[in-house]
Chain A
Amino acid sequence: MKKGRATDTVLEHAALPWLQAAVLACLLPHALHLPLWLSLGVASTLAWSLNLALRQGSLPPRWLLLLAVLAACGGIVLEYRSLFGREPGVAMLVAMATLKLLELRSRRDALLLLILACFLLLTHFFHSQNLPTALWLLFAVWLIVAAMLRLQTSALPPRAMLHTAARLGMQAMPLTLVLFLLFPRISGPLWGLPHDAQRARSGLSEHVAPGSIADLALSGDIAFRVRFAAGVPARNFLYWRGPVLEHFDGSAWTPARPGGGKPRLETTAPAIAYETTLEPSRQRWLLALDAPTSWPATARLDAGLSLVAREPLHERQRLSFSSSLDYRYNRDPNPGELQRNLRLPPGSNPRSQALGRQWRDEIADPQARVERALKLFTQAPFAYTLQPPLLGPQAIDEFLFEQQRGFCEHYAAAFALLMRAAGVPARVVTGYQGGELNAVDGYLVIRQSDAHAWSEVWLAGQGWRRVDPTAAVAPERIELGLVAALPAGEPLPLLAAMRAGWLLELRDRWDALNNAWNQRVLGFNAERQREWLAGLGLNPGDWRRWALFLGAGTSGLLALLALWLLQQRPRRDPWRKEWDKALRILARREVNCAPGEAPLQLLARVESRIPNLAPDFARVVNTYLRARYGPAAGEVERQVALRELRAAVAQLDKGRWF
């Protein structure tokens, strides 16, 4: 189309700030993830283009832009070791979009840039899909739409431009919702995810050495949320079981090789049901409450009584469990299990091993040996701290006999070592302990700072029993949580540090909002959609009906919107409405009123064409003229006149049959 080109060529200078604002809004969150040099380059390019727009200067020459593109490509290759893949791809897009600002020659170029910006918005979701991101992107979409609008028209002042853009967006909302709910969801991925899609996240580690959990405790990130069907159990029962670590190499505890038979569980308390929403951890541990009795089909219970998912958790997942809080576990041990849990690397931590052996020789009852060890922790001046001193190669010896300051993993590891040396099978269990009840939505929130390590010992007749040496040193940790247990002056996890009432409430509300967002919006995947449709009485397998639903919903909404948009005409007054009704009645008798035909003229025509209708119509005309053109009367008179007119029109309607 020649014409299109003719109108597209000019890009007004006054439109540039809109484009820059939209692109800036689009790029700003990327600064969190892009390498610093690229962010700086983007910022300076934006500043340059802003300067050009202000001075109405001419665009830089092409060779300079080409140079900039090459430089960006080079930088990206150096940074990511590739030009392809998700992260370098996004970086390339960002660089191109920014440089395009310096090459806007026509309206078409600008429109292209804005459409590209829409794609850039999507790339933010690789990093975060939380509520603030969503709100910011909504804002960015707003600016993009306003900029697109600005490209087409210069007639609106900026406020009206923003207002119109907002209105366009608002009108699109119902349709967005329908599409979101009804558009068939497909479970990804469609093609292999690039390996960089799974970035390391902080979370439980299967490798516990002194200090590894303390790091985690500083993070206020949410690990998972739980909603109990009935009430929340007492805090000291809230042990969320992660990996069981049976292998000790002298410094770190690691899980045993898989296998080792099935766990035998005898429950002595009724199971309680709950639903857990796990944040993606890139791990397979499902963190059920000790000890799980039922779990989803996608998980299995391993020999260590931990639930393991088939796939690592890349997405937030909502799972239903039930657990019994009182149980006997493996009263008859699996073969090899006890031997494995007595094994100690010879020569490591000799003083601790010697202490254990001493207890084995002195105390006959294994149970009493456990008590003896716990007594050691309470009697000696052990301190619970997030900042344990650095320990040497014989870490546990140093901890037990010299520093005596440590975090949960120190206590659990030391205790397990002492027990093994004392001839009691023992191991370290990691997971989370406690959690915080959000008063707003009733969810129990478990954060990374709730990560914990404890021990288990095997006693004849009782099976594996949980012993938490931390509870002996700092009972507040179990009763009240981490912050209460730490002495003053300790660095605290940011979110956990909020103790002020209103701040806490604010945080709770925010968490609840995020949770609702996660559950309702982000959690609405193919599976949830099927559940939801089934709830509506629609068989999700019935594709034809589904398509019908979607098509009808979309086109119905569009039709409604169209109707609404096109019907925004000046409202007619009630008299005029009645008059039009009367005219329609006449039209059925083939007396059509011309647009400019005055009432009395029409009456004269009716008198000659349909004499028997004339008296009735005369009454309509008289009431209409009096009511519509007569001197303004009070509200009561107006209503009376309107009623009269309605009656007259009704009479006319009746009269037309005779």
Chain B
Amino acid sequence: MGFSTVDRVKTAFFRRHSDGGGPILLDRRRIYLLPTAAGLLYAVMLLTMLLAAINYNLALGHLLVFLLLALGLNTMLHSFRNLHRLRLTPGRCAPAFAGESVHFPLWIEADDDEPRLALEVSSAGQLLLRLEQCPTGGDWLMLPIGSQVRGWLPLPRLKLGSRYPLGLFIAWSNLQPEMRALIYPAPRHTPLPPPRENTGEQGSGDDGLDDFAGFRDRQPADSPRHVAWRASSRQVDERPLLVKQFAGGSHPEYLFDWNDCLPADDETRLSQLCGWVLAADAAGNRYGLRLPNRIIDCDRGSEHRQRCLEALALYPAGSA
């Protein structure tokens, strides 16, 4: 990471408490401004030029020095203005698996119509993202943060800075929006355990529309859309219209048990369970989860998957 002493001191000096979950408006008190190394060099150059102008009695030399000086001071204001009245609103962060990079969404929007250019978001001295221009209507900043362990990953302290317009000054603001992302355990891909004995329950009502199973006679309540016109027309008179019949597939059902996992530490077990959940979900199977502190009944669908993964991520908490 390379977190130098200077950075540490600066962090301590400019520390701000959390900014909460609401929008953050960058105002006068939040924006810091310092000359960059190039800015200092520029100043030294101006001083040298001034001395030369005095020595050789160059009236235009004076004028040039003053123009460049005024220009430098003007860019200081522009640097400040570039950040001033920017509004940052924390968004909702989608969960990720441990080891993946999480993208924290931060809505950035200017309060006025002035363009905001060359914005850089960094954290702990590392550049996360560069936004060339903040669109007038606002835009999502997706801040990539690496995740290592499962559980809640809080958004680290951010620094939104810009060297616009000339790179002589850097204006920045420290941000600590209250955002966190849920990190699921890193999935471990192992073969699925044997499915649970079929309880005889044949899924829910909408299963009957999946696979074509044959024809039957039409009843008045049948949707005309399911009438097999071609098949019916082939029939002799006396028969009623035919309707296509569908049957629900029978999928295996799993209950992933903590105790079925390889005997290993908790994290490995959780990873394995996570891998199973993903595999079962991908196959469209019904599955449930049995953790030492919690049981999740068999079901399917994205909400169920989310519930299961959440339980794994927050284990042993969230036993409710």
Which A residues are within 8 Å of any B CB, using their own CB? 1-4, 6-7, 107-108, 111-112, 115-116, 118-119, 121-122, 125-126, 129, 133-134, 137, 141, 145, 148-149, 151-156, 164, 168-169, 171-176, 179-180, 183, 185-191, 193, 197, 314-315, 521-525, 558, 561-562, 565-566, 568-570
Top 10 A-B pairs ranked by shortest CB distance?
A: A172-B70, A155-B133, A175-B70, A179-B66, A155-B132, A148-B166, A153-B118, A2-B125, A172-B71, A522-B59
Report the minimal beta-carbon distance from B116 to chain A, rounded to whole angstroms: 10
| Contacts between chains A and B (CB distance < 8 A), count | 187
Q: Which residues of A contact B122 (CB under 8 A)?
A: 3
Report the minimal beta-carbon distance from A511 to chain B, rounded to whole angstroms: 19
- Across the interface, B49 reaches (CB within 8 A) one of A6, A119, A153, A565, namely A119
- Across the interface, A6 reaches (CB within 8 A) one of B81, B112, B115, B126, namely B126
Q: Which of B39-62 contact A (CB under 8 A)?
A: 41-42, 45-46, 48-49, 51-62
Find out whether the CB atom of A193 lies under 8 angstroms from the CB atom of B56: yes
B38 at the interface (CB under 8 A from A): yes
Find out whether the CB atom of B57 lies under 8 angstroms from the CB atom of A189: yes
- Given the interface pairs A126-B56, A149-B165, the reply to whether A190 lies near B51 with Cβ below 8 Å is yes
- Across the interface, B60 reaches (CB within 8 A) one of A164, A174, A315, A522, namely A522
Report the minimal beta-carbon distance from A131 to chain B, rounded to whole angstroms: 10
B304 at the interface (CB under 8 A from A): no
What are 22 A-B contacts defined by CB distance under 8 Å? A112-B38, A116-B45, A118-B64, A125-B56, A137-B60, A145-B71, A152-B163, A153-B133, A153-B164, A154-B132, A169-B71, A172-B67, A179-B69, A179-B70, A180-B66, A188-B57, A524-B59, A558-B73, A561-B77, A562-B80, A565-B81, A568-B112
- Across the interface, B64 reaches (CB within 8 A) one of A137, A145, A173, A568, namely A137
Find out whether the CB atom of A152 lies under 8 angstroms from the CB atom of B66: no
Given A152-B167, A193-B56, 18 extra CB contacts under 8 A: A2-B2, A2-B4, A2-B126, A7-B120, A129-B60, A153-B118, A153-B133, A156-B117, A172-B67, A172-B70, A172-B73, A180-B62, A185-B54, A187-B57, A314-B57, A565-B78, A568-B112, A569-B85
Find out whether the CB atom of A155 lies under 8 angstroms from the CB atom of B117: yes
Main secondary structure of the interface of A (DSSP, over half): helix
Report the minimal beta-carbon distance from B217 to chain A, rounded to whole angstroms: 62
Query: How far apart are the CA atoms of A108 and B125 in the complex, in Å?
Result: 18
Q: Which residues of A contact B49 (CB under 8 A)?
A: 118-119, 122
Q: Which residues of A contact B74 (CB under 8 A)?
A: 168, 171-172, 175, 561
Q: Which residues of A contact B269 (CB under 8 A)?
A: none
Query: How far apart are the CA atoms of A133 and B60 in the complex, in Å?
Result: 10
Find out whether the CB atom of B63 lies under 8 angstroms from the CB atom of A176: yes
Find out whether the CB atom of A118 lies under 8 angstroms from the CB atom of B59: no
Q: How large is the interface on B (under 10, 10 to 19, 20 to 34, 35 or more residues)?
A: 35 or more
Q: Which residues of A contact B115 (CB under 8 A)?
A: 155
Report the minimal beta-carbon distance from A524 to chain B, rounded to whole angstroms: 6
Q: Which of B135-189 contact A (CB under 8 A)?
A: 159, 161, 163-167, 170
Query: How far apart are the CA atoms of A624 and B265 in the complex, in Å?
Result: 69
Find out whether the CB atom of A7 lies under 8 angstroms from the CB atom of B127: yes
Query: Which residue of the partner chain B has the closest CB to A156?
Result: B117
Query: How far apart are the CA atoms of A3 and B170 in the complex, in Å?
Result: 12
- Across the interface, B118 reaches (CB within 8 A) one of A141, A152, A525, A562, namely A152
B87 at the interface (CB under 8 A from A): no
B130 at the interface (CB under 8 A from A): yes
Query: Which residue of the partner chain B has the closest CB to A179?
Result: B66
- Given the interface pairs A156-B117, A169-B71, A521-B60, the reply to whether A189 lies near B167 with Cβ below 8 Å is no
B37 at the interface (CB under 8 A from A): yes
Query: How far apart are the CA atoms of A611 and B77 in the complex, in Å?
Result: 47
Query: How far apart are the CA atoms of A111 and B75 in the complex, in Å?
Result: 15
Report the minimal beta-carbon distance from B53 to chain A, rounded to whole angstroms: 7
